[in-house]
A and B are shown apart, each in its own frame.
Chain A
């Protein structure tokens, strides 16, 4: 394991070492330290030092590992949610029934309700899980869309949305087992300024009556940038990588850590993996 870890750091980390400033120290300072056996750092397997400056080019199967162990130590932190919703002009509707969310926190027992039981360890029981679109390999939403307004991108597996084609029938919302999709029940343009958010000119706004969801920041990946949430997390809980590439750091993480997925029994092949 230690050797693996060292190889891993050597492979991925060197170029990014300069970025390892404040956040990892915070992790170090936290009560629980992970991977002491690894001997290199308190890295939970997805630290900034392990992340190259740019996402890999020509990835063919994007996947994400979310380290809930680290995430739940910071229940007050919403950096990823804020970054995502700001960069994608996600409106902040006052009525919760109209709510739009691309990435959000949900009670662990709800997010993984098949694993929930009365004697679940205390820190899990009262924790939240970070949820987003799973970019399933076999997406139920894509299958049901009557206009192909949502589709799985052949080259890298991202489940995309065409907000100009969507007729707003919400069949995809009914089909998604993860609650990853939101509908614009009202005109979103008036609700960007809430919570001091500024309209981002480089990302399209939506109109009322269309469905939207996380697109894994495909617009950022295309520019060689990590997704907003991945970049914004001060504790580096999220790792994005190319599962098809055996040398991708994400494969090493998944090799080292036990990961689970939400509702794996449905055959949708969700591509967000959780370290719990």
Chain B
């Protein structure tokens, strides 16, 4: 089936080459990091995780969100998601690969990464995260390839795949829960140590992921002949709306607890994010401030666009709302979440973090890799679907 990825037009190959070039730039930047060490990043003794781990966290959410199309289609037999499900699963595959790559580029000793399996330590959440993420990748590869393969032959998918599909649903929830546990179990970081972190991660994932899927569907409709139809997109929009509302609700829960209790250890991280903080020398650091306000504004705007049915029904406005949701949550999770957990540090010292150029290029490269995988896999899916449809028409 993968051979379908090699049969494309000019536009397809141009896109592939651009994405390959981005991956190439990222690889070159990574080679520099590999030779010189993580000193080429903005990471420090005080902010020891940054852009890479934040992107990883965000992408775990996008990967998990495939469940939002898998569940209605396979469990509730919502047939209208038939065309979209494979797109969700392929997006999950690309996201999983991105997650693993982000972890890989964050390692100080990447060639020792197999030590995680050679010396398994069930007490570490990172061990479990590796296990569930790898498992989720395998599940999605297996499911999407089997279902698509059956479709190609014009037969029903084999019976044995059904229990695997059902397993993949709680598994999707588990990958983001375990990722939240990476943070929420740390007594040293009060900002993350909240029971609401895993639910919040899931809510933001189930809005950002389907929002991205809607954007993809609209792009595919515009530039290819593949149209998932209006109804599934509207259904996804409702999912995005509810998930985003729950996400905003959970964020407000966090803000209330921190503000009303007034415990500095909890409150200070919010202060740093939204107002900045002074360091020991009296210098005010506001690195995150514009970003966090942008994220909040985009979040509010997206909620308005999503909640009012008249807006949501218009696909142009829906696309805008989805872009807002995605970008708002990307800032929140892919920038604020991790860095603010480290600032101020446990001794209340403020050491700001700004990603370096090299770090940003590596990050861009990984995004390029994800986009490349999505492009290639979507190409396969679209070509196969087209063939199946033509065959059906001829018959």
Q: Which A residues are closer than 8 A to B by beta carbons?
A: 93, 95-100, 106-107, 110-111, 113, 140, 142-149, 165-171, 173-179, 182-187, 207-211, 263, 266-268
- Asked if B154 is at the interface (CB within 8 A of a chain A CB), the reply is no
Known pairs A184-B108, A208-B108; A143 contacts B124 (CB<8 A): yes
Write the nearest CB–CB distance from B16 to chain A, whole angstroms.
33
A183 near B347: Cβ-Cβ < 8 Å: no
A144 near B126: Cβ-Cβ < 8 Å: yes
Known pairs A111-B347, A174-B48; A185 contacts B186 (CB<8 A): no
A168 near B107: Cβ-Cβ < 8 Å: yes
Contact pattern, B 113-132, Cβ under 8 Å of A = 1, otherwise 0: 10110110101111100100
Task: State the majority secondary structure of interface residues on B.
Answer: loop
Q: Which residue of A lies closest to B47 (CB)?
A: A97
- Asked if B112 is at the interface (CB within 8 A of a chain A CB), the reply is yes
Write the nearest CB–CB distance from A21 to chain B, whole angstroms.
37
Write the nearest CB–CB distance from B270 to chain A, whole angstroms.
18
Interchain CA distance A145-B127 in the complex, whole Å: 8
Residues of A within 8 A of B110 (CB): 167
Known pairs A166-B109, A208-B108; A99 contacts B115 (CB<8 A): no
B115 near A185: Cβ-Cβ < 8 Å: no
- Asked if B349 is at the interface (CB within 8 A of a chain A CB), the reply is yes
22 contacts between A and B (CB under 8 A): A111-B347, A140-B187, A142-B123, A143-B124, A144-B126, A144-B185, A148-B119, A165-B115, A167-B107, A170-B49, A170-B106, A170-B108, A173-B48, A177-B188, A179-B45, A185-B39, A185-B41, A186-B37, A187-B37, A208-B108, A209-B37, A209-B108
Q: Which of B42, B106, B108, B113 contacts A210 (CB 8 A)?
A: B108
A167 near B115: Cβ-Cβ < 8 Å: yes
Interchain CA distance A110-B348 in the complex, whole Å: 6
A171 near B109: Cβ-Cβ < 8 Å: no
Interchain CA distance A185-B358 in the complex, whole Å: 14
Q: Which of A110, A142, A169, A208 contacts B106 (CB 8 A)?
A: A169
Residues of A within 8 A of B38 (CB): 168, 183, 185-186, 208-209
Known pairs A145-B121, A146-B116, A166-B108; A183 contacts B48 (CB<8 A): yes
Top 7 closest pairs, chain A to chain B, by CB:
A168-B108, A209-B108, A97-B44, A177-B188, A146-B126, A186-B39, A185-B39
Known pairs A113-B347, A169-B106; A146 contacts B45 (CB<8 A): no
Known pairs A147-B119, A171-B124, A186-B37; A110 contacts B349 (CB<8 A): yes
Residues of A within 8 A of B348 (CB): 110, 113
Interchain CA distance A146-B103 in the complex, whole Å: 13
Residues of B within 8 A of A177 (CB): 187-188, 346
Q: Which of A106, A110, A111, A146 contacts B121 (CB 8 A)?
A: A146
Question: How many positions in chain B have a CB within 8 Å of any CB in the partner chain?
Answer: 47
Interchain CA distance A268-B346 in the complex, whole Å: 14
Residues of B within 8 A of A95 (CB): 39
Q: Which of A171, A178, A208 contacts B37 (CB 8 A)?
A: A208
Residues of B within 8 A of A100 (CB): 45
Contact pattern, B 38-62, Cβ under 8 Å of A = 1, otherwise 0: 1101111110110000000000000
Q: Which residue of A lies closest to B125 (CB)?
A: A144
Write the nearest CB–CB distance from B176 to chain A, whole angstroms.
18
Q: Which of A96, A110, A207, A266 contacts B188 (CB 8 A)?
A: A266
Known pairs A147-B116, A179-B345; A267 contacts B121 (CB<8 A): no
- Asked if B3 is at the interface (CB within 8 A of a chain A CB), the reply is no
List which B234-265 residues lie within 8 A (CB) of chain A.
none
Residues of B within 8 A of A208 (CB): 37-38, 108
Residues of B within 8 A of A145 (CB): 121, 124
Write the nearest CB–CB distance from B20 to chain A, whole angstroms.
28
B108 near A144: Cβ-Cβ < 8 Å: no
A107 near B280: Cβ-Cβ < 8 Å: yes
B37 near A170: Cβ-Cβ < 8 Å: no
Interchain CA distance A142-B121 in the complex, whole Å: 10
Q: Which of B118, B126, B342, B351 contacts A171 (CB 8 A)?
A: B126
Write the nearest CB–CB distance from A170 to chain B, whole angstroms.
4
Residues of A within 8 A of B119 (CB): 147-149, 165
B127 near A146: Cβ-Cβ < 8 Å: yes
- Asked if B36 is at the interface (CB within 8 A of a chain A CB), the reply is yes
Interchain CA distance A23-B46 in the complex, whole Å: 36
B113 near A143: Cβ-Cβ < 8 Å: no
